[in-house]
Structure 1
Amino acid sequence: MNKWAIGIITIVLIIAGAVYAIYEANDYDYDDSTKKYKIVKKWELPAELNEVSGIYWINDNRIACVQDEDGILFVYDLKSSKIIKQYKFAGPGDYEALSFLNGEFWVVESNGKLYKVPNLMGAEKDAEEFSLNFEYRNNIEGLAANSDGNLLLSVKERNLDNRGDYKGIYAFDPRTKKLNMDPVIKINYNDPAFNVLQTENPRKLIRPSDLAFHPVSKELYVLDAEFQKVLILEASGKIRELHLLDPEEFPQPEGICFSPSGRMFISNESLGGPPTLIELKFIK
C-alpha cells in the first residue's frame, strides 16, 4: 500500500471518528435522565412467548398475548404465572399487536392484514381476514380500538403518503371494512417534547411498537421499542408527556395494555434473557 492510500485512509478514519463523536455528543443518553416510573411487579414469561408482540387485558388477572411467528392467542394468568389457554386462529405469520372490539379480538400483521378472532372460549377456528392498503414498507406494529368503534393502526416505518415530517396513525372502520387513507392522528417530529432526546433522527424520535388507550383518562399511549419510551398523546396528536424507559429493564418493549382500573402493563420480547411482562406506574 503506498503512502497516498495510507494517508487517505487515515483522513477518512479521522473524519469518521469526528462525526461519530459529534453524533454521540448530541444524542440522548438514558443515564442523563430522571426515571419517571416505578416497577410494581415483573413476570418472566415462558419460552412460547419469546417473541411476544402484543398484549390485552381480558379479566380476572388474565392477559391475552400474541407473538410474532404463530397465529395463536395465548391466555396468561398473572396469579399462577402460567399460560392457561391457547387458541389457534391462523397459520404462521408476522403478528404484531392485538386489541378487542365488540366482543371479539383483532390481531394485525406487519403487512396490514387484520384478523377478527371469535370467542376464545369456543372451539378453535380460522379468523376472518381483512387485507388493508398497507405494505411491508409501512410496517404496522400498533393496534388499539377507540371509543368511536374504529381500530387505530400505527406505522413503524413509512406513512401512506410517504411524508417524512410526522408519524401517522390510521383508522379502520370494521362496520364499513374501509381504511381511512389519511392519518387520524399525526405525531409531528417538531413537537417540543422530543427536545429531550437531543436528536433529529426520526428513527429515534418515534417508531411505534404498540398503542393503547388509558381506560380512565382516555389518552392514547404510544410505545416505542427501538428507542425505549412511552408517549402520552392529546387528541390532536400533541405529546402531553414523554416517558423514557430504562433499556436494561425494557430491552425490547413490544406490547402495552391496561386493566379497567388503569393498571399498566408492558411486555418485552426475549433479548439476551427471558421475555417479560412488567406492571409499571408513572410518577410525577
Structure 2
Amino acid sequence: MTKWAVGIVIFILVIAGVIYGIYQKNDYDFNDTTVEYTILQTWEMPEELREISGIYWLGDERIACIQDEDGYIFIYDLKTSRIVDKYKFAGSGDYEAITSLNDEFWVVESNGTLFNIKDLKGIEEDAVEIKLDFEYRNNIEGLAASKQGNLWLIVKERNLDNRGDYRGIYAFDPETRNLDKTPVLKINFNDPAFDRLRTNNPRQLIRPSDMSFHPETNELYVLDAEFQKLLILKPSGKIKELHLLDPEKFTQPEGICFSPSGRMFISNEALGGPANIIELKFDKNQDF
C-alpha cells in the first residue's frame, strides 16, 4: 500500500472516530444522579415474552402483553406470575405497542400498520388491519388512547415532515380512519429539560419506545429504551419532568402502562438477563 493510500485510510479512521465521539458520547453517568423512584415489584417473564415490547393493564391484576416478533396478545397474571391466556391477531411482524379504546384493542407495528382487535375472546386472526401513512424510517414505537377518543402514535426516528429538531406525536381517528399529518404534540430538542443530559445529540435526547397517559393527571409519559429515561409531558408538549432510569435495572424499557388507580408498570426486553415487568412509583418532594 502506498503512503498516499495509507494517509487516506488514517484520515478516514480519524474522521470516523470524531463522528462516533460526537454521536455516541454520553456526558452523564447514572451513578452520579439521584434515584427519583422506588421499585415496588419485579416479575420475570417466561421465554415466550423475552421480546416483550408493549403492555396494557386489563384489570384483576392482569396485563396484556405483546412481543416484537409474533402476532399474539398474551395475558399475564401478576398474582400467579404466569401467562394465563393468549390471542393470535396476526402472523410474524415487528409489533411495538398495545392500547385499548372503547373496549377494543389496538396494536401497532413499527411500519405504522394498526391492528384493531374487537374481542380477545372472539375468533383468532380476526383483526382489522389498517395501514397508515408511515414508513419504516419513521419507526412507530408508541401508541396511546387519548381522552379525545383518538389514538396517538409517536415516531422513534423521523417525522412525517422530515424535520429533525423534534420528535412528533400524531393523532389517528378510528371513526374516520384519518391520520392527522400535523403533529398533535412535539417534543422539541431545545427543551431546557434536556440540559440535564449535557448533550446535543438527538439520538441521546429522546428515542421513544412507548408512551401512556396517566389516568389521574392525564399527563403523557414517554419512555426511552436506548438511553433509559422517562419524560412526563405537559399538554403543550413541554417537558414537565425528566427521570433517568437505572440501566442495570431497566435494561431495555420497551413498554409502559398504568392501572386506573395510577400504578405504573414498565416492561423490559431480555438483555443480559430475563425480560421483566417492573412496578415503580416516583418519589415525592423531588426537585426537577
Q: TM-score range by the shorter chain?
A: over 0.9
| Partner of residue 257, structure 1 | 257
CA distance in 2, matches of 1:4, 1:137: 38
TM-score, structure 2 as length reference: 0.92
Deviation at 1:123, TM superposition (A): 3.5
Q: What is residue 197 of structure 1 aligned with on the other side?
A: 197
Distance 2:258 2:190 in 1: 29
Alpha-carbon distance change, 177 to 13 in structure 1, aligned in 2, over 3 angstroms: closer
Structure 1 stretch 69-78 or stretch 3-12: which is displaced more? 3-12
Q: Residue type matched to 2:245 in 1?
A: L
Aligned to 1:188: 188
Letter of the structure 1 residue corresponding to residue 103 of structure 2: G
Partner of 2:68: 68
How do residues 200-279 of structure 1 correspond to structure 2 at under 5 angstroms? 200-279=200-279
Q: Residue 191 of structure 1: CA displacement?
A: 0.2
Q: Aligned partners of 1:4, 1:177: CA distance in 2, in Å?
A: 60
Given that 2:233 and 2:239 are in contact with CA atoms closer than 8 Å, whether structure 1 keeps it comes out as: yes
What's the counterpart of residue 47 of structure 1?
Answer: 47
How big is the shift at 1:116?
0.5
Aligned residue number for residue 164 of structure 2: 164
Counterpart in the other structure of 2:103: 103
Instruction: Work out the CA distance in 2 between the residues paired with 1:164 and 1:19.
Output: 18
Number of the residue aligned with 1:174: 174
Other-structure match for 1:115? 115
2:255–2:267: 8 Å Cα contact kept in structure 1?
A: yes
Aligned residue number for residue 154 of structure 2: 154
Sequence identity (%): 68
Match for 2:224: what amino acid? D
Map 1:133-144 onto structure 2 (within 5 A): 133-144=133-144
Match of 2:37 in 1: 37
Task: Kindly state the Cα deviation for residue 28 of structure 1 after the two structures are TM-superposed.
Answer: 2.0
Give the secondary structure class of the aligned counterpart of 2:133: coil
**Letter paired with 1:231:** L
Q: Distance in 1 between matches of 2:161 and 2:25?
A: 33
Deviation at 1:126, TM superposition (A): 2.0
For the structure 1 residues 134 and 4, does the alpha-carbon distance in structure 2 shift closer, same or farther, using more than 3 Å as the test? closer
Q: Distance in 2 between matches of 1:23 and 1:30?
A: 18
Structure 2 residue matching 1:200: 3-state secondary structure = coil
* Distance of 1:7 and 1:270 partners within structure 2: 43
Counterpart of 1:242, as a letter, is L
Distance change in 2, residues 1:101/1:24 (3 Å): closer
Deviations 1:244-274, CA, capped at 9 Å, x for gaps = 0000000100000000000000000011111
8 A contact 2:23–2:203 mirrored in 1: no
- Structure 1 residues 183 and 12 mapped into 2: Cα distance closer, same or farther (>3 Å)? closer
Tell me the secondary structure at the aligned position of residue 48 of structure 1.
helix
Q: Residues 24 and 103 (structure 1 numbering): CA distance in 2 closer, same or farther, change over 3 Å?
A: closer
Q: Which runs of 5+ in 1 are unaligned?
A: none
Count of residues paired in the alignment: 284
Q: Counterpart of 1:179 in structure 2: which amino acid?
A: L
Equivalent position SS for 2:31: helix
